[in-house]
Amino acid sequence: MRRTWLVMPLLAVMALPGCSSAPPEEQLLKELANLDKETIFERAEALFAEEEYGEARRYFQFLYDSFPNDPLGHRAALRVADTYAVRKDTVSLTEARLRYRDFVNRYPNDPNRDYALLRLGDTYFARRGRPDLDLTNVHEALAAYQQLVNLYPASEHAETARKRIAELREMLAEHEWLVARYYARNGAWTGVTWRLEYLKEQYPDYPRMDQVDELLERARTEVKRREELVRQAMEKARAKGAKR
């Protein structure tokens, strides 16, 4: 027979005098008071599956608040974060991100920490934007996924993280390529050389490497040509000064 868990401090609230219409929190307490924690979790999961995320969150939050040191309470904390993460708006993803990060920091030995790292990365991955814009979310996502792979290489979530790392690294390489092309259009050939040499060193699997090599060769040629022009101009200046 499964043990029934009563949360007496919370139930004491129900004994206080008040209006006949109980607030949602009291109604939830009355509903869950005589249920064991496993049943509550199952109900929350069912609500989540039905996309009743707000209601599922109330159940999961109740579990975590009632059993913060219990493994099921830990799982409930993650599921609270999941109820936010399914919404892709900025506010929801930010709330989910804070909760996943808190879980990662608070429970370093929890068996679901790898999942929390994956989902933390996902909150940034969902807002990664374009390679020609701000790359903050790309770097943050990459850091979370890389931590997952480094700490839990055999995790069931590691392969997903590796695939997303590859995609994010390609975005970073694309950023270097776009900047190099911008420099090329403006004749900043030294900048082109630096950017493309860095790209080749850091992202050798970049799919446009043939174009990178072609532009890099042109950039090096232009740099040498300009260096030669400068050298000739200096020699002429010295020669003219010697005649005086």
What would the mean pLDDT of 192-197 be, rounded to a whole number?
Answer: 97
Residue 166: pLDDT over 70: yes
Give which of 192, 195, 175 is closest to 130, Cα–Cα: 175
The string of pLDDT tens digits covering residues 94-137 is: 999 999 999 999 999 999 999 999 999 999 999 998 888 899 99
Q: Tell me, letter by letter, the H, E, C secondary structure of the chain.
A: CCCCCCCHHHHHHHHCCCCCCCCHHHHHHHHHCCCCHHHHHHHHHHHHHCCCHHHHHHHHHHHHHHCCCCHHHHHHHHHHHHHHHCCCCHHHHHHHHHHHHHHHHHCCCCCCHHHHHHHHHHHHHCCCCCCCCCCHHHHHHHHHHHHHHHHCCCCCCHHHHHHHHHHHHHHHHHHHHHHHHHHHHCCCHHHHHHHHHHHHHHCCCCCCHHHHHHHHHHHHHHHHHHHHHHHHHHHHHHHHHHHC
CA distance 60 to 67: 11
Q: What pLDDT does 30 receive?
A: 76
Confidence at residue 216, expressed as pLDDT on a 0 to 100 scale: 97
pLDDT, tens digit (0-9, with 9 covering 90-100), for 42-95: 999 999 999 999 999 999 999 999 999 999 999 999 999 999 999 989 999 999
Residue 153 CB: number of other CB atoms within 10 A?
A: 11
As a dihedral over the C-alpha atoms of residue 117, residue 122, residue 124, residue 125, rounded to 10 degrees, the angle is: 130
How confident is the model over 199-234, as pLDDT tens digits?
999 999 999 999 999 999 999 999 999 988 878 777
- 67 vs 7 pLDDT, higher one: 67
Please report which confidence band the pLDDT of residue 242 belongs to, taking 50, 70 and 90 as the band edges: low
Q: What is the pLDDT of residue 16?
A: 40
Binned at pLDDT 50, 70 and 90, residue 32 comes out as confident
Task: Give the model's pLDDT for residue 114.
Answer: 98
Specify the pTM.
0.81
pLDDT, residue 82, reads 98
Domain spanning 88-172 has what CATH number? Answer: 1.25.40.10
Of 46, 133, 92, the C-alpha closest to 119 is: 92
At 231 the pLDDT is 80
Name the token pair of 169. Answer: 């690294």
The structural domains of the chain, with segments of one domain joined by +, span 32-86, 88-172, 187-202+218-244
Give me 17's structure tokens. Answer: 């005098």
CA dihedral (46, 49, 55, 59) in degrees, to 10, reads 50
pLDDT of residue 243: 66
pLDDT at residue 183, rounded to an integer: 97
